[in-house]
Amino acid sequence: MSDTYDFTMSLRAIRDYEPEPLSNEDLGAILEAGRWTGSSKNSQSWTFIAITDPERIEGLAEHGDFTQPVRDSAVTVVLVRERDGNDFDIGRAAQSMMLAAKAIGVASCPITLHRERDAAAFLGLPDGATARYAVALGYPSPDARPRQFGGRKPAAEVVRLDRY
């Protein structure tokens, strides 16, 4: 297989970060990867909010149920779906950011904001925009390891050809 395939297959959520801030260069590269992600009909119906202020990070974490990685992050990027956007494109942008982060030595973890309406108010979103997903980012701590949950289901359980 190719190096790109192996790199993609090795992406894992990392939740343990160093306390240092992300460099502007690294954050910019990650956001640029999100910006260049393909989208339906090239609509680019998203906005990325990079939250770096510790008080704002703590406030954002209140809008999800499993948000310790947000609290521990140097930056959390909220992926705002604009009125005419869709979740598929938001997911693609999140994955692009996570892969770009890995490529430059930054750890990442996807986050769900379970209380979308409260998150939207907290972020000052316009009507029709939603914020359900985010990516926590930080330089990995020396002992950071992905959590193991038993690997993947066998392909025979999740892959079908031609019909269910």
Question: Please, are residues 123 and 117 in contact by the beta-carbon 8 Å criterion?
Answer: no
The pLDDT, as a whole number, for residue 149 is 67
Crossing angle of helices 116-123 and 54-61, in 10° steps, is 160
pLDDT beneath 70: ranges in the chain: 148-149
Question: Please, are residues 79 and 144 in contact by the beta-carbon 8 Å criterion?
Answer: no
Q: Where are the domains of the chain?
A: 3-141
135: which strand partners? 77, 110
The pLDDT, as a whole number, for residue 148 is 67
The pLDDT, as a whole number, for residue 81 is 98
Q: In the CATH scheme, what is the code of domain 3-141?
A: 3.40.109.10
What are the tens digits of pLDDT across the range 91-136?
999 999 999 999 999 999 999 999 999 999 999 999 999 999 999 9
Record the tokens describing residue 141, joined without a space: 């701590």
Which of these, 51, 84, 83, 93, lies nearest to 70 by C-alpha position?
51
The pLDDT, as a whole number, for residue 1 is 74
| Block residue for tokens 């190719």 | 2
